[in-house]
Structure 1
């Protein structure tokens, strides 16, 4: 029996597999005449798990029994499909079994060696789920290779890019539903991941959503009720229109990668919508700028300057959008390497990537930089049964708020690393906020007694309001007020600083909140300071530290829960019909 090796890139939306014979020949496996096998599963009427396009088609009649992205659910016990609990490992095994069957048919025998790729940030628990699913699917125990390592091996070994030992490359992997950015260093024995980052709520489907929203706006101008029908399809006709629009949006995005304009059809109002590449790029630019900045952050965290890189490699289907490479070049200062078929890079690279002796070794955790939170794509319609593309768009599943809050304190999670705010800093900032609140509220009698100026009960705004009215000693009262309550002012300033630092340090994982959240926190704390200055002295000393500390603590809790809240909102925008 020949030693035939099978490499599988089990992706969030699509799975890619390739065979390699002992003489070095390779064969791309095809599923329904496509190299992309949707990773989706659906529980069929007879209780069997449908995979690939069968699952996508079956979702039209049974959307409650459909899961488009089982990979996102790794770490959970089971999927709930039509009220039936299905272990996550079984769902993954169903897709891998489909791959194993096609590989055996193409090779004329069972494969004898398997290599399976995984995200660089996955820990041993998630990797074990992948290994057990492969064995359950009837495959030999697989060797695991991190996805960015496989990509780097493809570019260097198969494409011949020069990356000498000691050099580093960046792998920018923009798939249908997620973005992963990694810094990979080449050593004497192969590649090693030195830094990771990513956005779990951004991918090619979000670029499709920009075009869908463009068409939805045209529909709304002609018939607002028609847009509601599109966003919440109830009849088979409406679901077909919903699915067709998303298919057209994906196709238009690909056309705009080659041509200067594309036309989409607006259902229900019988209109054609012309979208130019310039307009599409204007809509997509803010999202892609955030990914480019994330890439720079990953490099900075790993201690790599753009001039020190041996290459910036683009993989993942959505990376073929021209604006992706243009934005990365402009922001990062290095020209990316772009391929015609970036979807197949990881699977092919896994065949030539150096592998260790064990599939379950627990390598050192790479560092992860701050991940900028990106807003959901505007106007994406709410969830509806089905899937708009062969890969099935990702559906975000929110983690429990308790788990999110615990994760933000302990610093644990998939990505981990130096990019997260250290747990000690979080505990110290929260404790300091609590202390300021206690002192502000309960230290008032001592402060007033200590200063001996408790009788001064006029605020600064009162002084300003009475300026020029002939009331005596306004400036004197103001300065006496400031002097008498210097400790209260100090506490107020400390509260403001604590609020800003706490909110800036908080968040579920990335350690950097959305801009609007930080801005709103500053505004709220400024209002707290105004309350300190405007109110009479008895409540004033406690008001600013108290309000400032409450704002900081509330902001921390809000941000700790913000990540699953954003995921739930994104869930409502992911097309499923």
Structure 2
């Protein structure tokens, strides 16, 4: 069956979703894999697994457009090249499962990216053979995923609260008369705690009771953080929900204050929670107390952007005017509400003339850094399938993901 593909490359996890062209407009998760690339001694790349004998790169998507490359043993690889290699591998895995190429591919990116960074990723994707692709801002993808299930009226606004393992952002998007979306405001968190920091705070509580020689399981902390009952037991130590909430309250308040500043005078119809760290009930509770609207999240909010990117890819082919208005459903739940929905805007096609030079930067007096010469022009020769993750639920699917 003909399909389109959405890919969300997060700091921790990369997620792919497919949307059928002659079936339901909703998307389904096809693949979840760690956002890791490793160069082996044999000169090949593998995805997902870490071998102590190789050189591993992670977190590269947030550095797309950075002039300083990643050093992987004998190779110097720009962040956009590593990102393109991972996307190419993901597409290949989905094609192997589906038995045919996707009709179109949409890749999400942070809303703060300008023409230069988008152009760098477009160029890297073309160099690895991925041509028919659209780049979609993350809050647009989140909104598009929501819009599949719930009616969003023209001129209404949606707020997107995104909290993953290593990144936080707050955005406001507005529905246009053409059933697309435009970005009203966007804030990237700089000094805010994210999912991994909350894991560390929980581990600190446990370690303080075990003593300096006590062992604290990071996996237990990550799982307990999002599924707190009245109490959890980690490494033999009981921590109550109230104790954990008290420990992270300053960090949560900081996130919510930044989010409300990003809203400004806008009164959104709903707040959409995106990213695995939003599974923590305290996040939804704090937002519900701060805003006068619905606070909505899917059961797996770390998958919302990938699914929305797939829906956006479908819209590129069929157009928003060809899609019927959705029927209200109750598929997302959080705090006092039980429905969800996300929209995406018109995506401009890449214009090479727009991407010829990076944006101007203020003058800085620094000593020049001599970078090692690249020994191999192109490193996309071989990608070995490794660490494959299916769309079925597994422990890896429960990671914060972004």
How far apart are the structure 1 equivalents of 2:83 and 2:154? 36
Are residue 45 (structure 1) and residue 36 (structure 2) matched? no
Partner residue of 2:232 out of 249, 257, 262:
262
Higher helix share: 1
RMSD: 2.5
- Deviation string, structure 1 residues 31-65 (Cα, Å, up to 9, x no partner): xxxxx32112222232322222x1xx32xx258x2
Please, which moves more after superposition, 178-187 or 123-132? 123-132
1:293 aligns with 2:294: no
CA distances 1:427-464 after superposition (whole Å, capped 9, x unpaired): xxxxxxxxxxxxxxxxxxxxxxxxxxxxxxxxxxxxxx
Map of 1:176 onto structure 2? 165
Q: Number of residues paired by the alignment?
A: 321
Q: In the alignment, which residue of structure 2 is the partner of 1:370? A: none
User: In 2, are the aligned partners of 1:149 and 1:184 still within 8 Å (CA)?
Assistant: yes
The equivalent residue for 1:15 is 14
Indicate which of 183, 189, 214 corresponds to 1:199: 189
For residues 357 and 213 of structure 1, do their structure 2 counterparts lie closer, same or farther at Cα, with a shift above 3 Å needed? closer
Cα deviation, residue 130, structure 1: 2.3
Contact 1:255 1:261 in 2 (8 A): no
Q: How much has 1:129 moved relative to structure 2?
A: 2.5
Q: SS of the residue aligned with 1:8?
A: strand
- How far the C-alpha of 1:347 sits from its partner, in A, is 1.6
CA drift of 1:183 comes to 0.5
Are the aligned partners of 1:9 and 1:118 in contact in 2 as well (CA < 8 Å)? Answer: yes
Whether the aligned pair in 1 keeps the contact of 2:85 and 2:128 (CA below 8 Å) is yes
1:288-367 counterparts in 2 under 5 A? 288-300=252-264, 303-304=265-266, 308-353=267-312, 354-355=315-316, 356=346, 358-360=348-350
Q: What is the alpha-carbon distance in structure 1 between the residues aligned to residue 127 and residue 269 of structure 2? A: 40
Equivalent residues of 2:19, 2:311 under 8 A apart: no
Cα displacement string for residues 381-403 of structure 1 (whole angstroms, at most 9, x for unaligned residues): xxxxxxxxxxxxxxxxxxxxxx8
Q: 1:172, 1:313 within 8 Å by CA — same for their partners in 2? A: yes
The alpha-carbon deviation at position 23 of structure 1 amounts to: 0.7
TM superposition shift of 1:90 = 2.6
Matches within 5 A, 1:52-67: 52=48, 54=49, 57-58=50-51, 61=52, 65-67=55-57
Per the TM alignment, residue 150 of structure 1 is displaced from its structure 2 partner at its CA by 1.2
1:376-391, aligned counterparts within 5 Å? none
The partner residue of 1:251 within 198, 212, 223 is: 223
For the residue of structure 2 that corresponds to 1:275, the secondary structure is strand
Instruction: Please name the residue that 1:126 is paired with.
Output: 117
Report the 3-state secondary structure (helix = DSSP H, G, I; strand = E; otherwise coil) of the residue aligned with 2:62: helix
Aligned pair partner of 1:69 in 48, 59, 73: 59
Q: CA deviation at 1:153?
A: 1.5
Quote the Cα distance in structure 2 between the aligned partners of 1:47 and 1:76.
Answer: 24
Measured in 1, the distance between the counterparts of 2:230 and 2:16 equals: 33
Q: Which structure exhibits the higher relative contact order, with contacts defined as CA atoms closer than 8 Å and separated by 6 or more residues? A: 2
Which consecutive residues of structure 1, in runs of 5 or more, have no partner in the other structure? 31-35, 228-240, 266-271, 363-402, 408-577
Structure with the bigger percentage of strand: 2
User: What are structure 2's unaligned runs of at least 5 residues?
Assistant: 317-345, 353-360, 366-402
Indicate the SS of the match to 2:256. Answer: helix
CA distance in 2, matches of 1:328, 1:406: 40
Distance 1:296 1:361, change over 3 A: farther
Q: C-alpha distance in 2, partners of 1:209/1:405? A: 37
Distance 1:130 1:318 in 2: 27
Q: Is the Cα–Cα contact under 8 Å of residues 170 and 259 in structure 2 kept in the other structure?
A: yes
Distance of aligned partners of 1:404 and 1:336 in 2 relative to their CA distance in 1, 3 Å threshold: farther
Three-state SS of the structure 2 residue aligned to 1:144 is: strand
Aligned twin of 1:565: none
Matched, 1:103 2:76: no
* TM-score, length-scaled by structure 1: 0.52
State the distance in 1 between where 2:239 and 2:225 align: 10
1:21 Cα deviation after fit: 2.5
Determine the C-alpha separation between the residues in 1 that align with 2:281 and 2:242.
11
Structure 2 counterpart of 1:188, from 173, 177, 180: 177
Distance 2:75 2:97 in 1: 34
What TM-score, normalized by structure 2, do the two folds share?
A: 0.74
